[in-house]
Amino acid sequence: MPNSDLRFQIDRRAFLSNAGKSLGLMAASSAAVGALLKNVEAAGKTVRGLSPAAVASDEDYWATIQQAFSVTRGIINLNNGGVSPSPRLVTEAFVRYTWQQEDATAYTMWRILEPQSETVREGLAEIFGCSAEEIAITRNASESLEILLMGLDLKSGDEILTTTQDYPRMLTTLRQRELREGLKLNLIKIPIAPEDPSDIAAAFERAVTPRTKLILVSHQINITGQINPVKQVCEMARKRGIETIVDGAHSFAQFNFTQKDLGCDYFGTSLHKWLHAPKGTGMLYVRKEKIPKVWALMASEEKNKEDIRKFEEIGTHSAAMRLAIGEAVLFHNAIGGERKEERLRYLSRYWMDRLKASPKVGFNTSFDPRQFCAIANVKVEGMDPVAIGNYLMSKHHILTTPIVHDEFTGIRITPNIYTALWELDRFCEVMEHIIKNGLPKSQA
């Protein structure tokens, strides 16, 4: 192995084991990645000493962050909730690792690159505030959560408690177990944009029965942006001997928290949303003492029973995506979790405050900062959200997410840290025109 490659491995391991404390990868990474990260670090120095709330409205600082992305400005992308673009430094790293693993692949990928994913594991664990031995690297939140929902031993008659607003794929998974094994899925309705988040915790507590063995709770509901009082739910469940799975598909790296802030037994998330990692990357947390009891979705040898890595045995897969998570961790830490959270909430409040002036506009999302961040859901009286969404995209190239749910309808709006204020102004201008004049007959 060339000396430069060896130095890269050593430096990268040293960095990611202290991912929250250092930007030391620059010297060890490619020139392109190093230069891009230096720009972010230099921008950070200009706001050093300012509170995260003050930095949230510093457009000079965020202009530098916006330039870290190579996104088109021909489309105003307000649908970052499904999947987010990666900054250039992550894409550069992903491409570099991809080319590297194409050289003597069986040797390079499995002996050189794959072992380095341990440093990525350490970086993720530091953000989440847990041991690296409790973190598995997966392909997305769905895989993480299905490992848990399919891997926990439950018997006929046992109840799983969750809400009618939970993510459809998770409900489908639980319904399959319900059909095959006689489990009971207990779905509850929770208040939409409640005055107090404790109302949601109370709804969970009222629904618990002697047969409740597991609670699945979304940290942030994907269709409204509602941040649920997860810690209250988990504490209530623990007192009753009930295990808790937290669906953190949207929350991780969007707003700032650690495992201790949740108190959950299990947590699953995607990394290609708010961490901006390569597409098809996710994370699973399992409390250390619970690892042996959870069956792997794909069978692993008995010797791995107590090892978090048993959940990663999916057969041959690219090392490049996993390793480029490291650069996403670098980028996230260079900005800072608190700054990022404040900026995302600032962007949401920017457009929400403007549109709420109209009496025809309502929100399926609370304005309480404890209950929302980057995701919000808006409705216009008497108008079909699907028609509005189609018009926004076809006529004005504004990408949004129309939501039609049994309990409410609206349009989900999710800006990101690369979103410019003029893009939100344009969205608001078009919405104000629609509110005042209605949709064209061809779109209504």
CATH code for the domain of 203: 3.40.640.10
Task: Compute the distance between CA of residue 101 and CA of residue 86 in angstroms, rounded to an integer.
Answer: 21
For residues 41 and 431, the model is more confident at: 431
User: Given this model, what pLDDT does residue 290 score?
Assistant: 98
40 found inside a domain: no
Between the alpha carbon of residue 76 and those of residues 22, 71, 375, 384, the distances in Å are 34, 10, 16, 21
Count of domains for the chain: 2
Domain end (from 329, 359, 386): 329
pLDDT band for 36, please (50, 70, 90 cuts).
confident
pLDDT of 22 > 80? The answer is no
Asked if residue 349 and residue 298 are part of one domain, the reply reads no
Asked if residue 394 and residue 306 are part of one domain, the reply reads no
Task: Compute the distance between CA of residue 118 and CA of residue 129 in angstroms, rounded to an integer.
Answer: 16
- In this structure, which amino acid lies at residue 441? K
pLDDT of 20 > 80? The answer is no
Asked if residue 246 and residue 282 are part of one domain, the reply reads yes
Asked if residue 201 and residue 319 are part of one domain, the reply reads yes
Asked if residue 353 and residue 325 are part of one domain, the reply reads no
83 found inside a domain: no
Asked if residue 266 and residue 398 are part of one domain, the reply reads no
Asked if residue 369 and residue 285 are part of one domain, the reply reads no
Domain end (from 296, 329, 362): 329
Task: Compute the distance between CA of residue 150 and CA of residue 296 in angstroms, rounded to an integer.
Answer: 9
Task: Compute the distance between CA of residue 371 and CA of residue 262 in angstroms, rounded to an integer.
Answer: 15
51 found inside a domain: no
- In this structure, which amino acid lies at residue 181? E
Per the CB < 8 A criterion, the answer to whether 137 and 281 are in contact is yes
Taken in order 331, 34, 23, 25, is the CA torsion positive or negative? positive
361 found inside a domain: yes
Asked if residue 250 and residue 169 are part of one domain, the reply reads yes
Average pLDDT over residues 189-196: 97
pLDDT tens-digit series, residues 354-402: 999 999 999 999 999 999 999 999 999 999 999 999 999 999 999 999 9
Neighbours of 163 (CB within 10 A): 21
Helix pair angle (198-207, 230-239), 10° resolution: 30
Residue 403 sits at φ, ψ, to 5 deg, of -120, 125
CA atoms within 13 A on the CB side of 44: 16
Domain boundaries, position 372: 339-436
Q: β-strand 212-218 against 159-163: which pairing, if any?
A: parallel
Asked if residue 300 and residue 167 are part of one domain, the reply reads yes
57 found inside a domain: no
Task: Provide the whole-model pTM.
Answer: 0.92
CA atoms within 13 A on the CB side of 247: 26
Instruction: Report helix, strand and coil shares of the chain as percent, to nearest 5.
Output: 50, 15, 35
Domain end (from 305, 329, 353): 329
User: Given this model, what pLDDT does residue 443 score?
Assistant: 73
What average pLDDT does the chain have? 92
pLDDT tens-digit series, residues 371-381: 999 999 999 99
User: Given this model, what pLDDT does residue 90 score?
Assistant: 96
pLDDT tens-digit series, residues 57-101: 999 999 999 999 999 999 999 999 999 999 999 999 999 999 999
User: Given this model, what pLDDT does residue 220 score?
Assistant: 98
End-to-end Cα distance, the chain: 64
User: Given this model, what pLDDT does residue 29 score?
Assistant: 53
Q: What is the CA radius of gyration of the chain?
A: 22
Asked if residue 308 and residue 197 are part of one domain, the reply reads yes
Per the CB < 8 A criterion, the answer to whether 35 and 138 are in contact is no
Average pLDDT over residues 419-442: 95
Per the CB < 8 A criterion, the answer to whether 344 and 227 are in contact is no
254 found inside a domain: yes
Q: Which of 343, 309, 277, 254 is nearest to 134 (CA)?
A: 309
Beta bridge mates, 410: 403
pLDDT of 12 > 90? The answer is no
Tokens 């992305």: give the residue. 69
87 found inside a domain: no
pLDDT tens-digit series, residues 259-312: 999 999 999 999 999 999 999 999 999 999 999 999 999 999 999 999 999 999
User: Given this model, what pLDDT does residue 25 score?
Assistant: 37
Asked if residue 145 and residue 252 are part of one domain, the reply reads yes
379 found inside a domain: yes
Asked if residue 199 and residue 245 are part of one domain, the reply reads yes
CATH of the domain at 409: 3.90.1150.10
